[in-house]
């Protein structure tokens, strides 16, 4: 279990969409300071929310932030890039760009902040995956989230000796700008944020945020043909 009240938290991509909802939920639970990042950050009206510039694709940007934020006890790896075109129709460069943010960007954050978490008592790491970590048909985006899921499972073992809780988050369509144009049922990001913060407070290692995600988790042991997006 990791206490939220009084905690210092880093939320990447924390100024819009799900990240903003996570920040709001952390505030409601009594977090002392939340560093909310964006490539072009905007100041918050709440003095507990400190806007920080960050490009997770840039190693120097990540290193500079870690050098500055030595008080962080919880890291939420939320920043991500969209892109779900078919793999056969995508250039290698486009797929690589998605991985650069969704996989390597998240890993950069962990490598930079793991020593900080250790010095501050262990704390927690939250990696935001997707139901598309398990489901075929989402091209480079799904592949990048599958890679992050695998990395999170390894990081859980690697960070255990320093007492860091590692929580992986899986969710289906959620009502954010990234999928605003899709006419499908969507989660309320506030509900997902609540589930994430609940998990950290109770020491859970996995969040299955909705019925779609719970269904696909349940059929992972079945035929791979069952792990496909259907119209």
| Residues with active-site annotation | 141, 145
Rg (the chain; Cα; Å)? 17
Contact (Cβ atoms closer than 8 angstroms) between residue 178 and residue 82: yes
In terms of Cα–Cα distance, which of 203, 80, 76, 199 is closest to 132? 80
Token pair belonging to 128: 């935001």
Give the H/E segment covering residue 74: strand 74-77
Report the C-alpha gap between 107 and 58 in whole angstroms.
12
Residues of the chain by 3-state class (helix, strand, coil), percent to 5: 45, 15, 35
Angle among Cα 33, 39, 41 to the nearest 5 degrees reads 50
Which residue has 């905690």 as its token pair?
Answer: 7
Contact (Cβ atoms closer than 8 angstroms) between residue 185 and residue 173: yes
Token pair belonging to 139: 């091209």
């Amino acid at each position: 279990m990791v206490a939220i009240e009084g905690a210092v938290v880093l939320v990447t991509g924390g100024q819009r969409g799900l990240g903003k909802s996570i920040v709001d939920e952390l505030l409601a639970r009594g977090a002392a300071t939340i560093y909310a990042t964006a490539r072009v950050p905007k100041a918050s009206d709440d003095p507990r929310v400190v806007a920080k510039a960050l490009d997770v694709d840039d190693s120097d940007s990540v290193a500079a932030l870690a050098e500055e934020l030595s008080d962080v006890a919880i890291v939420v790896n939320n920043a991500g890039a969209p892109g779900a075109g078919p793999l056969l129709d995508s250039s290698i460069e486009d797929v690589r760009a998605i991985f650069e943010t969704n996989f390597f960007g998240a890993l950069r954050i962990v490598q930079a902040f793991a020593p900080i978490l250790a010095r501050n008592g262990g704390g927690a790491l939250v990696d935001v995956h997707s139901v598309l970590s398990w489901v075929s048909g989402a091209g480079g985006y799904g592949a990048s989230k599958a890679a992050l899921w695998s990395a999170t499972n390894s990081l859980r073992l690697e960070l255990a000796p320093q007492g860091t809780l590692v929580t992986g988050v899986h969710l289906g369509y959620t009502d954010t700008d990234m999928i605003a144009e899709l006419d499908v049922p969507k989660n309320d990001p506030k509900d997902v944020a609540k589930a994430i913060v609940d998990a950290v407070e109770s020491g859970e290692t996995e969040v299955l945020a909705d019925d779609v995600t719970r269904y696909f988790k349940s059929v992972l042991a079945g035929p791979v043909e069952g792990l496909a997006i259907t119209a």
